[in-house]
């Protein structure tokens, strides 16, 4: 069927058919982490109709922006919806349309990843649906991971303007899910023929009347709805020591989350001599590595300090956390574990950080990456429950808080029928839960079932993907590809033995699969048989695998997902590890 469609298309509609033929990338490489699991905004290959769909997705999925952007005019992605030309929409109705409709069938509070995924899901399932996104952010919906990863590695000097990055297959895209032309102007939403998605930027919902099904915005506007999604995400936490410290210190602080934080930090990294990142988790470590790379070329000092024993100390078992810390150091970062901040003050024109153990750190700028506080302000007026263990709005397995109200993304504390009650702060979860909420808002009544995944890169040598409960306090079993006896403790440039070779092979693979620029591997000496080059780590709860980390091996997420879904007890995890073919690339 698909091939005949393809042929039909290319015969009958030449230019359209040609568009279909543009896709010439083989299947294996088609999965990038950002689209592999759940597909927003790009495409996961499904079993049937693959060629067609893959071809079609080049047309409008927003995955690949046309070359036209390079040759043609620069697109202003940032303009709020109200400045959009109305030429694409049916001519204006007589009289003045209200700027904001007084009623919308689908109201999405929050303009991030979860809201966008929900909007797409609603539109796919409900023909002609009219969806209004109300976002406090001035920007249209965009994806966050590149802000601490790909955008820092771009060769483009205008990257802070364009916010475009290169994907694994060399093609560029913007962090925005869709360009402005995808959206309908807010005032036209009730009138446009086939419905659409409109985004009201820079407005905050401050009050919610759950019985009357009506919300109030910061400027007093009221909007009633039929179905509502709360996808308000979270705000970066701050350290109490810094909050106490006063304005002089606050001026030299970045709480990293949004586009403007990326822009400001990028500028600062070119102006100061020393930046200190507080926090040893995903965001802190990724930023440290990104800045560390600049450190080498620009004489910038990059320090990272955190209370745990090593980077990713709450996620990776200790031996791996230690190993990762060494890698981060090799990226040019001065990593200081076991560091608890006592106070911060301004001294001269610099910042002085005093640690509880007496050590002092002098620096010019601080980036705090110490966690996310879910935005649950609406809980009060809406009378919604907030979870005391995980934070966030408490919802059931179908992401529903109450009739007609769903919550998705970082702000949702939900019931996962396999792994129990959780709250997850990852991109793919926002996509999966947003999509599910959209399905349930259009009548699906499905529980949270499809496990989301997450990933991280720490420089060109360490990359991993993970799924499920990845908590270092759980017992773990790690299975790594052993270096052969042929290994010599020499530098990695001498490619002898699977251990060393596998590292440089995975590196080549890594730059194919995700967009890390290809660097030559840093010469290093693996310890006798103890190089954690690649492998798989299982996290267990009563002999059942509840979490998996794929360490420097890729394209194995489906089998990992299957093992968690099965929820079986396994006696010998080495046998389970065999399913992952860790010795191959």
Partner 1 sequence: MSYCRQEGKDRIIFATKEDHETPSSAELVADDPDDPYEEQGLILPNGDINWNCPCLGGMASGPCGEQFKSAFSCFHYSTEEIKGSDCVDQFRAMQECMQKYPDLYPQEDENEEKEKSSKDLEATPMEASAAKEEKGSS
Among candidate residues 140, 109, 44, the one with its CA nearest the CA of residue 441: 109
- Give the nearest distance from C-beta 529 to partner 1 in angstroms: 6
- Give the nearest distance from C-beta 61 to partner 1 in angstroms: 2
- Give the nearest distance from C-beta 549 to partner 1 in angstroms: 12
Q: Which is nearer to partner 1, 364 or 585 (CB)?
A: 585
Q: Which is nearer to partner 1, 119 or 401 (CB)?
A: 119
Instruction: Look up tokens 């002085």; give the residue.
Output: 352
Dihedral sign, Cα of residue 378, residue 408, residue 174, residue 288: positive
Whether residue 119 contacts residue 133, with contact meaning beta carbons closer than 8 Å, is answered with yes
- Give the nearest distance from C-beta 30 to partner 1 in angstroms: 9
- Give the nearest distance from C-beta 556 to partner 1 in angstroms: 13
Q: Which is nearer to partner 1, 224 or 322 (CB)?
A: 322
Cβ neighbour number for residue 53 with a 10 Å cutoff: 18
Cβ neighbour number for residue 80 with a 10 Å cutoff: 17
Q: Which is nearer to partner 1, 64 or 390 (CB)?
A: 64
Residues 6+ apart with CB under 8 A from 11: 17
Specify the long-range contacts of residues 438-441, CB closer than 8 Å, at least 24 apart: 438/117, 438/118, 438/119, 438/120, 438/121, 438/122, 438/124, 438/125, 438/229, 439/121, 439/125, 440/398, 440/399, 440/400, 440/406, 441/106, 441/118, 441/122, 441/227, 441/229, 441/406
- Give the nearest distance from C-beta 283 to partner 1 in angstroms: 25
DSSP helix/strand/coil, 436: helix
Q: Which is nearer to partner 1, 152 or 455 (CB)?
A: 455
Q: Which is nearer to partner 1, 138 or 447 (CB)?
A: 447
DSSP helix/strand/coil, 255: strand
- Give the nearest distance from C-beta 268 to partner 1 in angstroms: 32
Q: Which is nearer to partner 1, 217 or 477 (CB)?
A: 477
- Give the nearest distance from C-beta 508 to partner 1 in angstroms: 19
Q: Which is nearer to partner 1, 8 or 519 (CB)?
A: 8
- Give the nearest distance from C-beta 452 to partner 1 in angstroms: 11
Q: Which is nearer to partner 1, 22 or 273 (CB)?
A: 22
> For residue 414, what are the β-bridge partners?
422
- Give the nearest distance from C-beta 56 to partner 1 in angstroms: 6
Please give the Cα distance from 98 to 79 (Å, whole number).
20
Using a 10 angstrom Cβ sphere, with 0-12 exposed, 13-18 middle and 19 or more buried, the burial of residue 404 is middle
Q: Which is nearer to partner 1, 88 or 218 (CB)?
A: 88
CA-based end-to-end distance of the chain: 33
> For residue 351, what are the β-bridge partners?
346, 363
Q: Where are the alpha helices (DSSP H) in 299-384?
A: 318-330, 378-382
Six-digit token pair at 258? 């949004």
Residues 6+ apart with CB under 8 A from 327: 458, 459, 461, 462
- Give the nearest distance from C-beta 314 to partner 1 in angstroms: 14
Specify the long-range contacts of residues 266-273, CB closer than 8 Å, at least 24 apart: 266/152, 266/159, 266/160, 267/160, 268/365, 269/294, 269/298, 269/300, 270/298, 272/300, 272/364, 272/365, 273/299, 273/300, 273/301, 273/364
Please give the Cα distance from 426 to 447 (Å, whole number).
19
- Give the nearest distance from C-beta 223 to partner 1 in angstroms: 22
Six-digit token pair at 508? 């080549």
Q: Which is nearer to partner 1, 254 or 440 (CB)?
A: 440
Q: Which is nearer to partner 1, 276 or 502 (CB)?
A: 502
């Amino acid at each position: 069927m698909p091939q005949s469609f393809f042929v039909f298309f290319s015969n009958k509609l030449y230019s359209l058919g040609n568009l279909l033929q543009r896709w010439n990338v083989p299947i294996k490489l088609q999965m990038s982490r950002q689209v592999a699991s759940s597909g927003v905004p790009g495409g996961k290959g499904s079993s049937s109709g693959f060629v067609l769909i893959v071809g079609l997705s080049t047309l409008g999925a927003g995955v690949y922006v046309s070359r036209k952007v390079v040759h043609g005019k620069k697109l202003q992605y940032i303009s709020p919806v109200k400045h959009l030309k109305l030429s694409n929409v049916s001519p204006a109705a007589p009289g003045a349309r209200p700027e904001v409709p007084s009623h919308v069938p689908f109201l999405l509070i929050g303009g991030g990843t979860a809201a966008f995924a929900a909007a797409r899901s609603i539109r796919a399932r409900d023909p002609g649906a009219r969806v209004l996104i109300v976002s406090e952010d001035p920007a249209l919906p965009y994806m966050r991971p590149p802000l601490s990863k790909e955008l820092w590695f771009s060769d483009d000097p205008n990257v802070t303007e364009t916010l475009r990055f290169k994907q694994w297959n060399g093609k560029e895209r913007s962090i925005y899910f869709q360009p402005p032309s995808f959206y309908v102007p807010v005032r036209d939403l009730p009138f446009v023929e086939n419905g659409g998605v409109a985004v009201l930027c820079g407005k905050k919902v401050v009050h919610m009347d759950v019985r009357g099904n009506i919300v109030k915005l910061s400027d007093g506007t009221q909007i009633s709805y039929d179905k509502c999604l709360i996808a308000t995400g979270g705000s970066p936490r701050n350290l109490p020591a810094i909050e106490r410290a006063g304005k002089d210190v606050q001026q030299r602080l970045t709480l990293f989350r949004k586009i403007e934080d990326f822009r400001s930090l990028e500028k600062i990294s070119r102006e100061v001599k020393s930046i200190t990142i507080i926090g040893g988790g995903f965001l802190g470590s990724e930023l440290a590595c990104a800045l560390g790379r600049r450190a080498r070329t620009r004489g910038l000092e990059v320090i990272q300090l955190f209370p745990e024993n090593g980077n990713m100390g709450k996620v990776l078992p200790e031996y791996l956390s230690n190993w990762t810390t060494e890698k981060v150091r090799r990226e040019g970062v001065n990593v200081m574990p076991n560091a608890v901040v006592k106070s911060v003050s301004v001294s001269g024109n610099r910042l002085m950080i005093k640690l509880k153990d007496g050590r002092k750190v002098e620096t010019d700028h601080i980036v705090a990456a110490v966690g996310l506080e879910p935005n649950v302000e609406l809980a009060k007026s809406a009378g919604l429950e907030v979870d005391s263990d995980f934070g966030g709005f408490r919802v059931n397995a179908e992401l529903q808080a109450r009739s007609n109200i769903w919550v998705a993304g970082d702000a949702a504390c939900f019931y996962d029928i396999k792994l129990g009650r959780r709250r997850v702060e990852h991109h793919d979860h926002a996509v999966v839960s947003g999509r599910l909420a959209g399905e349930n808002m259009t009548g699906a009544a499905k529980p949270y079932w499809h496990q989301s995944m997450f990933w991280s890169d720490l420089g060109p040598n360490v990359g991993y993907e993970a799924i499920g409960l990845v908590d270092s306090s759980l017992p773990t079993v790690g299975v790594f590809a052993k270096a052969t006896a042929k290994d010599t403790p020499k530098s990695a440039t001498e490619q002898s033995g699977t251990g060393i070779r596998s590292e440089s092979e995975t590196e080549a693979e890594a730059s194919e699969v995700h967009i890390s620029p290809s660097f030559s591997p840093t010469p290093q000496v693996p310890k006798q048989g103890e190089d954690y080059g690649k492998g798989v780590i299982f996290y267990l709860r009563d002999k059942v695998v509840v979490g998996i980390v794929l360490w420097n091996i890729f394209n194995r997420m489906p089998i990992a997902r299957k093992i968690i879904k099965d929820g079986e007890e396994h006696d010998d995890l080495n046998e389970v590890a065999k399913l992952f073919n860790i010795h191959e690339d």
